[in-house]
Structure formats: C-alpha cells, structure tokens
Amino acid sequence: MINQLVSAQQLMDKELLQRLFKIAEDYRTNHPDDYPKLLKHKILASLFYEPSTRTRLSFETAVMRLSGRILTAENALGTSSAVKGESIEDTIRVMNGYVDGIIMRHPEVGSAKRAASMATVPFFNAGDGGGEHPTQALLDMYTIFRSKQSFDGLNIALVGDLLHSRTMHSLLQLLSMYKVNFYLVSPTALQLPDEFTSLLKNAGTHYEKRERWDDIAGQIDVVYSNRIQAERFDDRAVYEKLKDSFCITKETMKSVKKDMILMNPLPRVSEILPEVDDDPRAIYFEQSKNGVYARMALLTEIYG
Ligand code: NCD
C-alpha cells in the first residue's frame, strides 16, 4: 500500500492498476448517492502553486464525492506564506497538523519529493514543474484500458513537448510495464530527457524518436498529444518558434486507424483543432472526466 504518491514509479504494479481500474469502474456505474462515505470527517488540502483546472477540481470533486472536505490554496505562490519566503518543507510541516492529506502542485521539479519527505499524512503530487504528474498517468492508463482492454501490442505515439510534458513522463513509466511500441514525436529541441529514455531502455521497451508521425499515422493505436509547455521556456523566442510544431486536424484524422484513440491531458491550445472534437476517436473530454473516477479509486485505495 502506498500513502505517498510522488512518482508514477510507485504505481508500477499491474495488480494495483487493475484493482484501481475496477474501483474506478464501479464508481462510474454507481449513483453518487450510493458512494461510500469513506472520507467522512476527513479534510484534505489542495496546495496549488501553479495554475490548474482539471487536476485540482477533479481531485476536489473526488474528495467531496467520498464525503471528505477540502481546503484550497489556489495560486498559493501568490497568496500563501510562500510570498513571504516560507519553504515548502515548513508549509508541509504546518499542514500536517491541519489536514488528513495534501494534494500539491508546484512549478519546481523535485518539489513533490521534498514535500513528501516532510509529510506525515498522505501526499499526492499533482505536478512538479516539468517533472511528473502521476495521478494524471493513472487516469490516462484507465482511459486507454477502457478503450483497448489491454496494453500489450499497442503502438503509442507521444506527440509534442516531450522534454517538459510531465504527464508523458509519468505515463510512459506505467506503459513501460507492458509490451508497447513507443513513437516519441517531438522537435529535436524538445526530446524526451535522458532519464526517461534510460528508463525505457532498462525496461526493454521498443521506442523510436521522430520529428513527425504522418508517415506512420496508419499504424498508431493511441496518439497522446500535449501542448508545447510555454511556461517552461526561458527563452520566449524559442517557444514562439516551436509552439505550432504539431497540429491535428480533420484531415489528419482521415489518415489514422478507425479505432485509434486521440488523447490529450488538456488544456489544448493549437495542437488539436476544435474541428476534431466531434470525431468519436477524440476522447480527451472523456479522459478528463475519467480523472474523477481514477482519483476516487486512488483515494479509496489509500484511505479505504
Ligand atoms: C497537464 C499538466 O498540468 O501537466 N494538465 C493536466 O493536469 N490535466 C497538461 C498541460 O498543462 O499541458
């Protein structure tokens, strides 16, 4: 049993994933009135030092669906004592005394590990800069599983800013437990960091680095795209040059498999045109909804 989730590595257990998918599926099919009051009398804090829509609100929905309560520090970099120079470590020590769990997003890579080392209550990394985003990986795996029923044999293209995309960094770890083929599609300047390619190598996972995917479009089972992560660039000019590297259009969808699924953790900027949204293979809004069930499952595993 885990009580701190810092990296997707901690979810690298096929049985655990299957159990979580099953719980998520049960929540999906049950009426909210029938949900267990698992978090009754529990208070969780969401400490967000970086913008978020889906992660914070779906986590908070998940907590409240299980009868827990939430304390939110949104825009915590601007409104909490971080402004006065308080360290993450001190903030977490204080929160330990207030709440029964901490959900944190912070712009620095490694911040989640530092925070978790001080937490005496369950801790959830909701994104540490361009590092990891393990709960997103859980809902992404759940989404793939619902569509494909299995992971082995899938051809998966990760398309976009592989250097900075924390959702991809976490997702590829979980997928590396299975026999998937990865196409790592990015501009050269935004390739996957070495630590993650090493991880794929060590897992014996087949991967190919590429700059485009149109020539292999007909072979891909899952396209996972993500915006170029503007906030991670030191040089705005570099971002401007790369921001429109990929754009999936109605035309693109004509060249892909009939049962391909198109995922995106959202927000979507220019990497998928809205004209694609009505295509049944475009499942990103469904994917974001799965975030509530997947996070409810995780909370159930930890507090149940
Ligand atoms: C992602 C994130 O914050 O990393 N969003 C999310 O959590 N659903 C992806 C992104 O911001 O591009």
Catalytic residues: 54-55, 84, 105, 133
Counting ligand 1 atoms within 8 A of each CB, the residue from 133, 163, 166, 263 with the most, and so the one to mutate, is 133
Rounded-to-integer distance, Cα 79 and Cα 266, Å:
25
Write down the pLDDT at residue 1. 64
**Do 145 and 175 form a contact (C-beta atoms < 8 A)?**
no
How many CA atoms lie less than 13 Å away from 23 in the CB half-sphere? 25
Taking only the tens place, the pLDDT of each residue in 163-221 is 999 999 999 999 999 999 999 999 999 999 999 999 999 999 999 999 999 999 999 99
Rounded-to-integer distance, Cα 290 and Cα 142, Å:
7
* CA-closest residue to ligand 1 atom 8: 265
* CA-closest residue to ligand 1 atom 11: 267
Taking only the tens place, the pLDDT of each residue in 220-275 is 999 999 999 999 999 999 999 999 999 999 999 999 999 999 999 999 999 999 99
* CA-closest residue to ligand 1 atom 7: 55
Ligand 1 atom at shortest distance from the alpha carbon of 165? 4
Ligand 1 atom at shortest distance from the alpha carbon of 55? 7
Ligand 1 centroid from CA 266, angstroms:
6
